[in-house]
């Protein structure tokens, strides 16, 4: 039985899969190869790069015009800037892969070439001798190129560049570099020359850069339809739409939700169970709580200063600071953490949008759970007493916020993050929080859904704003924004929270008042 693949390259014999060649512009790539071009294929981690490269290798070898080989140079990362050690790992891998494809020649010659030519020329010399020996032009697909570090990466790129003018008779006709980032964006610190070398200068023979995209909504439906065809288990239209909305087609997320729903959860792996939107929401929560490798690696990137410079103002609704560099934007985009698909820079999908504040407040959530019991904010009818919860946070924030915010790496977003850590108990208690934030919004929006009674759902919106101008202006703008958000979400209640980061006395900052906007009651809280 096939299943949803959430680890490693896709194998269509074992996994539900979309044709990897259909995800790339095969005609365009074949044209580049015919023109003897060197180019880059890049995309965020676990989007299908390796699967596409392996499928391309099989396709080209099947056609018979070229001898195509895929190699993965990631093992050489362990050598760091020890170029001889890294080159030995790369050449050994090249020989092993070629031997698996029925060509023992590179594996037979590389040890002697390495000893003779040395680490800074051996890779190019092996490729030269192999090209001369081969009965067909060589096409080399190099995966995980950006796993290489410093002088090791420089050595590989410059050896490829040095042989470029001799293609295809005595050097590969085409080389494809594959990684998370475009080679032009590499900033390589060379310990040998004590300088920063850009990827563009080390590999200025690149003709084109191709980015592998996410699945489309139609792709997601087609992938899940394979499961239905093989098992009979069905998905509602609302479930499929929600999977697309939560993931925006990120391939690992699409497959991970499918695997959780159909193969891991004891209830939903019963093939008679129809997968609904509610079950998809539950699977999403399990994924986030479990922090599988993909999500954990992504969350770990939040610690990097260049990621923080872009993500932190998103959490506050502010603007990117002048200290941020264009390269920072490109970096977080290449990671797949943010996207410009809608025309503005925003977190790439709702699942990542949920993970970020949870990851940044993980320790605080544990502390809050230890200090506050989960029943005091639930009324006799099972409804959430949100005003009671906010009032408790208001007291906590007054007494402890300065100390707690200092614990955050993202201090500018500290108030918003601290509140979200405090409210995480809602999610842990079976409710749900949907978060909206982004550059230039000047606010953070939280939509709370709390199930109670016999199939009822309580809905509330919280608008979080930092006091930038006068209080009256901030409240006026916030009331209009909160009203619009409440109306869009069809919420039962609305709260506007204003965080004052100034040096005024707490007696001036802390307040609660009831306001009306277009006949709708909105509770306003000062912090």
pLDDT in tens, 172-191: 999 999 998 877 666 655 56
71-85, 369-383, 448-462, 500-514: lowest mean pLDDT where? 369-383
Domain boundaries, the chain: 20-211, 217-290, 332-526
> Could you report the per-residue pLDDT of 118-129, keeping only the tens digit for each?
999 999 999 999
H/E run at residue 515: strand 511-517
Mean pLDDT of the chain: 91
For 20-211, which CATH superfamily applies?
P-loop containing nucleotide triphosphate hydrolases (3.40.50.300)
Which class is 217-290 in CATH?
Answer: mainly alpha
Closest-CA residue to 75 (of 59, 58, 99, 94): 94
What per-residue confidence (pLDDT) applies to 164?
Answer: 95
Report residue 42 as tokens: 């890049």
- pLDDT at residue 351 is higher than 90: yes
Q: Are 213 and 252 in contact (CB under 8 A)?
A: no
259-263, 326-330, 397-401: lowest mean pLDDT where? 326-330
What per-residue confidence (pLDDT) applies to 441?
Answer: 81
The C-alpha atoms of residue 392 and residue 140 are separated, in whole angstroms, by 62
- pLDDT at residue 428 is higher than 80: no
Q: How confident is the model at residue 520 (pLDDT cuts 50, 70, 90)?
A: very high
What per-residue confidence (pLDDT) applies to 218?
Answer: 97
Global pTM value? 0.89
The C-alpha atoms of residue 354 and residue 365 are separated, in whole angstroms, by 14
Closest-CA residue to 206 (of 40, 56, 36, 70): 40
Under the phi-then-psi rule, with left for phi > 0, alpha for psi from -120 to 50, and beta for the rest, what region is 132?
alpha
Q: How confident is the model at residue 57 (pLDDT cuts 50, 70, 90)?
A: very high
44 burial via Cβ count (<10 Å: 0-12, 13-18, 19+)? buried
The C-alpha atoms of residue 272 and residue 293 are separated, in whole angstroms, by 30
Q: How confident is the model at residue 318 (pLDDT cuts 50, 70, 90)?
A: confident
Residue 301 CB partners (closer than 8 Å, separation 6+)? 307, 335, 337
86-95, 211-220, 323-332, 468-477: lowest mean pLDDT where? 323-332
The C-alpha atoms of residue 159 and residue 110 are separated, in whole angstroms, by 15
What per-residue confidence (pLDDT) applies to 202?
Answer: 55
What per-residue confidence (pLDDT) applies to 322?
Answer: 58
What per-residue confidence (pLDDT) applies to 461?
Answer: 97
- Does 527 or 442 have the greater pLDDT score? 527
> Could you report the per-residue pLDDT of 231-251, keeping only the tens digit for each?
999 999 999 999 999 999 999
- pLDDT at residue 439 is higher than 90: no
């Amino acid at each position: 039985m096939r299943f949803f693949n959430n680890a490693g390259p896709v194998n269509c014999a074992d996994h539900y899969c979309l044709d990897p060649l259909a995800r790339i512009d095969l005609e365009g790539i074949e044209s580049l190869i015919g023109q003897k071009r060197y180019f880059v294929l890049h995309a965020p981690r676990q989007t299908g790069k390796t699967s596409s490269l392996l499928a391309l290798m099989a396709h080209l070898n099947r056609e018979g015009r070229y001898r195509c080989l895929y190699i993965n140079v990631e093992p050489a990362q362990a050598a760091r800037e020890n170029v001889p050690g890294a080159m030995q790992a790369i050449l050994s891998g090249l020989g092993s892969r070629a031997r698996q494809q029925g060509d023992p020649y590179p594996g037979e010659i590389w040890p002697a070439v390495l000893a003779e030519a040395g680490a800074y020329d051996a890779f190019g010399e092996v490729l030269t001798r192999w090209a001369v020996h081969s009965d067909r032009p060589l096409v080399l697909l190099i995966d995980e190129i950006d796993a290489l570090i410093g002088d090791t990466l420089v050595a590989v790129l410059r050896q490829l560049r040095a042989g470029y003018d001799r293609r295809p008779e005595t050097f590969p006709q085409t080389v494809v570099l594959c990684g998370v980032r475009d080679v032009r964006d590499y900033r390589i610190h060379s310990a040998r020359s004590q300088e920063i070398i850009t990827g563009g200068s080390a590999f200025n023979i690149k003709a084109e850069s191709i980015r592998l995209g996410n699945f489309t909504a139609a792709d997601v439906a087609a992938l899940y339809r394979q499961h239905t065809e093989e098992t009979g288990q069905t998905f509602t239209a609302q479930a499929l739409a929600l999977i697309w909305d939560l993931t925006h087609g990120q391939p690992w997320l699409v497959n991970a939700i499918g695997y959780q729903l159909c193969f891991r959860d004891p209830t939903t792996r019963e093939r008679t169970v129809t997968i609904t939107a509610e079950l998809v929401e539950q699977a999403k929560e399990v994924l986030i709580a479990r922090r599988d490798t993909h999500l954990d690696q992504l969350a770990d990137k939040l610690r990097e200063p260049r990621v923080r410079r872009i993500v932190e103002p998103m959490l506050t609704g502010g603007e990117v600071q002048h200290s941020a560099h264009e390269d920072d934007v490109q970096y977080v985009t290449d990671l797949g953490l943010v996207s410009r698909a809608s025309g503005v820079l925003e977190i790439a999908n709702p699942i990542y949008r949920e993970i970020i504040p949870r990851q940044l407040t993980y320790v605080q959530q544990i502390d809050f759970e230890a200090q506050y019991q989960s029943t005091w904010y639930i009324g006799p009818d099972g409804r959430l007493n949100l005003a009671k919860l906010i009032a408790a946070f208001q007291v906590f924030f007054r007494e402890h916020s300065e100390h707690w915010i200092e614990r955050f790496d993202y201090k500018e977003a500290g108030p918003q993050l601290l509140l979200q850590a405090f409210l995480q108990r809602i999610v842990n208690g079976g409710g749900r929080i949907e978060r909206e934030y982004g550059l230039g919004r000047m606010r953070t929006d939280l939509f709370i859904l709390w199930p109670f009674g016999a199939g009822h759902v309580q809905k509330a919106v919280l608008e979080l704003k930092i006091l930038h101008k006068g209080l009256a202006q901030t409240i006026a703008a916030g009331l209009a924004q909160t009203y619009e958000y409440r109306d869009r979400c069809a919420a039962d209640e609305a709260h506007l929270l204003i965080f004052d980061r100034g040096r005024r006395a707490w007696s001036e900052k802390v307040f609660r008042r009831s306001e009306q906007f277009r006949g709708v009651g909105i509770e306003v809280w000062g912090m």
